[in-house]
Amino acid sequence: MLKGGSLRGIFCGSRHMAEKLNAFVEVHGVKPPIGRTFDFDELPAAYAFSWGPDSFRKTAIEL
């Protein structure tokens, strides 16, 4: 906290809601729009890309 950091939380629903969402995604084959995929060892480049002007869709990291 000496560096002026902050912590923010969000409400993301109950376990039941997450299970219903996961079932819907599975049944209907919902796929997120991936703009670019990076390997795990390219984390700094992926982070920079996600904040840049070319990042329109999701930036994915392959594990």
Tens-digit pLDDT profile for residues 25-48: 999 999 989 999 999 999 999 999
The pTM of the full predicted model, rounded to 2 decimals, is 0.54
Distance CA 24, CA 20 (A): 6
Tens-digit pLDDT profile for residues 2-19: 677 777 777 778 999 999
Domain boundaries, the chain: 33-63
pLDDT at position 12 is 79
